[in-house]
Structure 1
Amino acid sequence: MSTSFQPVIHSLLETDLYKFTMWQALLHRFPTNQSEYRFVCRNPPTFALATLADEVNQQLDWLCSLRFAPDELSYLAQLRYIKPDFVQFLRIFQLHRPFIEACAEGEHLVITAKGPQVHVLPFEIYVLAIVNELYFRRMAVPDMGVGRQRLKDKIQLLRDALAQSPRRHAFSLADFGLRRRFSGEWHDEVVATLKAELPEHFGGTSNVHLAQKHGLAPIGTMAHEYLQTFQSVGVQLKQFQKAAFEAWVQEYRGDLGIALTDVVGMDAFLADFDLYFAKLFDGLRHDSGDPFVWGEKALAHYAKLRIDAHSKRLTFSDSLDMPKAIALYQHFGDRVQTGFGIGTNLTNDVGPEPLHIVMKLVRCNDQPVAKLADSPGKTLCEDDTFLAYLRQVFDKHD
């Protein structure tokens, strides 16, 4: 490692909470799963990401040398839904370099993590943070005063809106911006600013390291990969969502009760989300499709099941900015509890155009898996035959 090397990731705690919660559940349920994750950039970058390959590999070498520190393990252990055996697993855990490869193919940066799922699942968030920060290090340093002013304007916009149009339920904001942040330093400043300026409305952050550092609640439950895993573990495909939710309920027994709805679309989700699950889960998370339509469908479903919507929470997290979050709050805030997870617009709104990068589960146990999101650009699968079959099973047309 050269003397000029500057690590992007300094702690294995610097990942999203839902990585730990999914990790624990899958370790307990499917410890022998084999899986493959791949990196994708969905928008055209300013320069070819392939030129970052060598630096990415240096960062991966460093990442795979890290271990959880005693104080980090103690922090995780005091979260009541994190179980002692999982903490002991993390005590000896280390990411293994042979399980991940990064290389240039033409102008494209190709990153693949392949191996035991409980060993390759954690790579995703670290890789996305690494690629983002290396990418923006190559650019001219922006005037961070611009970013600070934009953040200040968003805070003031929210204050004005809440003063003018209060609703029955409180406005709750969370930072979901680790994956596509401008830099770790800026992310830290954004979280500290939100905590100081919006103490009544800033509920916490998905970044577990920053939650520990700033005394905030770590926020997150499940992501698509958790439900997609159940497409490949011997469950009848039509039943995979029910199997995933049942396993979650058994693992967390009342904690972490926000269900993700768009792995095969909201309509297919609601068909599976019967009275049993609707009572057991505290609410739902939106991540694709029209959020207003989605929210109305959710409220209609609760009404159909004769469940008081005021006891439930709708969490919005799809490409949110502050004006959209405010509009959603004004629309739903008198009828249901709401939460708003804002990511890129908080942690990467400093001037340069952000990258739209993801690293997704593509295969598990040597079978393809897929997501049929309610937004066309978010559907992801490398096997057209399986994708067509999944559409047929859930009667979801392209």
Structure 2
Amino acid sequence: MNNSCVISSLLDNDFYKFTMQNAVLKLFPSAKAKYKFINRGKHLFPKNFSNILKENINEMANLKLSSEERNYLEKYCPYLDTTYLDFLNKYKFNPNEVNIHQYGQNIFMEIEGLWHRTILWEVPILAIISELYYKLTGTKTNRISDDIIKIITKNKINKYKNLKVKVGEYGTRRRFSYKVQKLVLKILIENGNKFFIGSSNVHFSHIFSTIPLGTKGHEWIMFHAAKYGFKIADKIAMKNWLYIYSGNLDIALSDTYTSYIFFKNFNKKLSNIFSGIRHDSGDPISFIKKAINHYEKFGINPKKKKIVFSDNLDPYKVEYISSFCKNKINSCFGIGTNFTNDVGLPIMNIVIKMIKTSFKKKWISVVKLSNIEKKSTGEKNMIFLAKKILHL
């Protein structure tokens, strides 16, 4: 694979980006967004890295939805309506929305434009950065062989089968490479039986004829906080989601402004309608207890609900969490880099987060608080203000 084709399909992206794009188009078509690259792992990038990254991003302007890909979406994702698919048919990435600079060994990047356009950049850009980093730093040659990756992946899925837990693959954004992700998925599908439930990557879901996994991300709720206020962001974001998807894609995201605030917004009606909740930060056992108490308070049987766990998982964490959930509440697990970047090298810790939004010609800073401090994002003064308003 040469430097200019890490991303070869418009659908090489997480499914929740498309579901959110559809909702944004319908409800907030004129809203704008700014995103920022955050190098949490303080990785040092080699000389000329930004130029090769720009080449890749420029190449993405040539991607377009094929008729075969559209047919796949119509068949496997019926809740994405014709209006949206017509939009996606005409959609083209615009590299002018992405601003990249390199100073020494540090990369700085911001993305800016209409929210419904810029929403698709995050995941493929992170995948490009990750793949190029291993390639250009020379560490790629030190990775374990494909044969060993096959054995490791097979052992993992066998362990999940023995535990009788359902797992999905969520690892596009920090994969070692396109090739490794495809290899891992092939092993998971061949060996997973009913316990491997699919991938969040729409392109690979198309290749393997499976239903893509995902609903919405934190930015959906962060935007609602900027527009409607921190206290009711979760509730309005959920109601707007139901308006677009009528009870499909019905997993609620629970930690944008801490789970404490989420459960305050998650009233009896919403708790009944949504089939479950996603845990993405903080102590999972404490969260399970809170979720069960919450459902029981409303007279809802927790055994008819589920928690989707997606916070930095590996086989040991999955065993620990699933055993605690047993006979109390249903569980399933979205596993990211432990599937797609377990190649014997240090894993990158990089993210791209929405930092500002604009819906009345004025930019407003957005924040995510999360259940743990290190996963919070946004300007310090805005984080302070959010915590003050929410009495956290």
**Does TM, scored on the shorter chain, surpass 0.5?**
yes
Q: Are 1:302 and 2:301 counterparts?
A: no
Q: Kindly state the Cα deviation for residue 128 of structure 1 after the two structures are TM-superposed.
A: 0.5
Structure 2 gaps of 5+ residues are none
- Note the alpha carbon deviations across 1:118-145, whole angstroms, 9 max, x for none: 1111000010000001011122422324
Shift in CA distance, 147/44, structure 1 to aligned 2, threshold 3 Å:
farther
CA drift of 1:49 comes to: 5.7
- Cα contact 1:147–1:351 (8 A) shared by 2: no
SS in 2 for 1:126: helix
* Displacement of 1:157: 2.9
Alpha-carbon separation, structure 1, partners of 2:46 and 2:302 = 46
TM superposition shift of 1:282: 0.7
- Match of residue 281, structure 2, among 275, 284, 288: 288
Preserved CA contact (<8 Å) 1:50 1:109:
no
Q: 1:41–1:357: 8 Å Cα contact kept in structure 2? A: yes
What is the CA–CA distance in structure 2 between the aligned matches of 1:375 and 1:232, rounded to whole Å?
21
Q: Do the aligned partners of residues 49 and 307 (structure 1) sit closer, same or farther apart at CA in structure 2, a change above 3 Å counting? A: farther
Query: 1: CA distance between counterparts of 2:263 and 2:283?
Result: 16
Is 1:318 matched up with 2:316?
no
SS at match of 2:356: strand
| 1:70 Cα deviation from its structure 2 partner | 1.1
The superposition leaves residues 169-191 of structure 1 with CA deviations (integer Å, 9 ceiling, x where unpaired) of x5211000111100001101101
Give runs of aligned pairs for residues 302-381 of structure 1, distance below 5 A: 302-365=295-358, 366-381=363-378
Contact 1:257–1:282, Cα closer than 8 Å, also in 2: yes
Distance 2:116 2:320 in 1: 39
**Higher mean C-alpha deviation, range 224-233 or range 200-209:** 224-233
Q: Provide the rounded CA distance (Å) in 2 between the counterparts of 1:236 and 1:341.
A: 30
Q: CA RMSD in A?
A: 1.5
**Cα distance in 1 between the residues matched to 2:180 and 2:123:** 17
TM-score normalised according to structure 1 size? 0.93
Residues 246-271 of structure 1: per-residue CA shift (max 9 Å, x gap): 10011101100001001000111001
- For structure 1, list consecutive stretches of 5 or more residues without a partner in the other structure: 163-169
Q: Which position in structure 2 is the counterpart of 1:77?
A: 74
Equivalent of 1:95 in 93, 96, 112: 93
Distance 2:90 2:288 in 1: 43
Aligned-residue offset at 1:48: 2.5
**Residues in 1 aligned to 2:238 and 2:192: alpha-carbon distance in whole angstroms:** 34
My pick for the range that moved more, 104-113 or 367-376, is 104-113
Quote the offset at 1:287 in angstroms: 0.4
Q: CA deviation at 1:44?
A: 3.1
Q: Contact (CA 8 Å) 1:50, 1:105: kept in 2 or not?
A: no
One-letter identity of the residue aligned with 1:204: G
Q: Which amino acid aligns with 2:194?
A: E
Segment drifting more, 150-159 vs 15-24:
150-159
Give 1:237 deviation, angstroms.
Answer: 3.4
- Matched to 1:72, the amino acid is E
The answer to whether residue 204 in structure 2 is matched with residue 203 in structure 1 is no
Q: Does residue 110 of structure 2 align to residue 112 of structure 1?
A: yes
Q: What's the counterpart of residue 157 of structure 1?
A: 159
- Specify which of 12, 15, 27 is matched with residue 14 of structure 1: 12
Q: Secondary structure at the match of 2:334?
A: strand
Q: CA offset at residue 147 of structure 1? A: 2.6
Report Cα offsets for 1:2-21 as digits up to 9, x if no partner: x9544110001110010011
Asked if the contact 2:158–2:192 (Cα under 8 Å) also holds between the matched residues in 1, the reply is: no
Are 1:31 and 2:32 counterparts? no
Q: How many aligned residue pairs are there?
A: 383
Per-residue deviation, 1:158: 3.0
Q: Percent identity?
A: 29
What is the 5 A alignment of 1:255-266?
Answer: 255-266=248-259
Q: TM-score, normalised on structure 2?
A: 0.94
Match of 2:144 in 1: 143
